[in-house]
Amino acid sequence: MSGQPRMVTSAERLRRLLALVPYVSARRVVGLAETAQTFGMTERELIDDLNLAWCVELRAPEPYCPIDLSYEDGEISISQAESIARPLRLAADEASALLVALRMLAEAGGDGDAVARLIAKIEDAAGAAGAASAQVAVQIEHPNARGMAAALDAALAAGKRVHLRYYNPGRDEETERDVDPMRLLVVEGRTYLEGWCRRAEGVRLFRLDRVLSADVLDVPAEVPDKAEPKDVDAGLFTASPSDVLVELDLGPGARWLAEYYLCDSVTELPDGWLRVALRTPDTTWVRRRALQHGEDVRVIAPAGLADEVRAAAAAALALYE
């Protein structure tokens, strides 16, 4: 988050200054608060940086101060920035990180035209520094989710409510619901619609590859003020106090579950086994996974769930007798 105090190395600070001086120079006059926000720093830190630039003095051949600036009444202006009035070229990591992100945005079905124009401009400006980005690619789940994303993006832009038919494989359940769209997200390679679900009366995430159909309704979306978008940067699924703590031992054939589900802890055991701990509001899917993987999944806790798995296996086996 911006504005939080943290240690900045001299290199990071120099990098910031070499962007800050051109940023202000290019704009003649710019607001202190707005600049601090753009650069993710406090106004105090910004003023420290401006003072530092202003203090630069070259002593030879003749002493002079190459940078002249002023800040007052919440506004900054730079009257002289000499040789650093233009920003430094993009470094290889900077150009590549940004180009990979932009191509991912294009693949996700984001605003195609502006994304394509920006990619071309940055490729042009970066030159050789952007070369490595050609070796890094991001592909997004399910081709059919892309058409769905475009349809939902349009509903979002038009501020319309949508009617979804949605499949939940963990519960093997199909539901229908009206949703007021809030935003589209791509997290861990999958596209999600975040919206106010009128059936659950809460903010919900819907995986687009599990949306069986989406109809845009001719009804304006009404997202209540209390609807808070999820902080997906802290993880897509955040645990709630009422969740059940589940502990599982996973054999080699079931190790992938540790990557597929968000775990609180993952510990290596002998012979390629793993012990994982995770929290979930609903253990139906755990029972399903345990049956699916047979002896490669052992339920350690809760004890009741281990009994449930055994009972379900016995009931299923009885049908084969």
Partner 1 sequence: MSKRRTERLLSIVVLLLSSRRYLTAEQIRAAVSGYPEEQEAFKRMFERDKEELRDLGIPLETGRSTPFDDDLGYRISRQDYELPEIHLEPDEAAVLGIASRVWQSAELAGAAAGAALKLRAASREADGDGAASPPPGIQPRLTTQEPAFGPLWEAVRDRRPVTFGHRKSGRSEVTKRILEPWGVVNRRGRWYVAGHDRARDAPRVFRLSRITGPVKPAGPPGSVKVPDGVDVREMVRDWDKPQAREYTATLRVRADAGNALHRWGRAAPDATHPGWDRLTIDYSDPEWYAGYLAGFGQDVVVLDPPELREAVIRQLKGALA
Site for partner 1 in 242-301 (CB under 8 A): 252-253, 255-256, 259, 271-273, 287-297
Asked whether position 237 contacts partner 1 by CB under 8 A, the answer is: no
> Nearest distance from residue 18's CB to partner 1, in Å?
7
Tokens of 218: 């001719």
For residue 167, the one-letter residue type is: Y
Asked whether position 17 contacts partner 1 by CB under 8 A, the answer is: yes
Alpha carbon of 236 to those of 11, 129, 180, 262, 266: distances in Å?
34, 33, 19, 9, 18
Alpha carbon of 15 to those of 2, 8, 18, 28, 39: distances in Å?
17, 11, 5, 21, 11
Candidates 118, 205, 217, 239; binder of partner 1 (CB under 8 A) is 118
Asked whether position 115 contacts partner 1 by CB under 8 A, the answer is: yes
Candidates 44, 68, 70, 157; binder of partner 1 (CB under 8 A) is 157
Where in 78-97 is the site for partner 1 (CB under 8 A)? 82-84, 86-97
Helix (H, G, I), strand (E, B) or coil at 177: strand
Candidates 4, 10, 240, 242; binder of partner 1 (CB under 8 A) is 10
> Nearest distance from residue 284's CB to partner 1, in Å?
10
Asked whether position 33 contacts partner 1 by CB under 8 A, the answer is: no
Read out DSSP for 21-70? HHHHHHHSEEEHHHHHHHTT--HHHHHHHHHHHHH--B-SSS-B---EEE
Q: Report whether 181 contacts 229 (CB < 8 A).
A: no
Where in 174-213 is the site for partner 1 (CB under 8 A)? 174, 183-191
Candidates 46, 76, 105, 179; binder of partner 1 (CB under 8 A) is 105
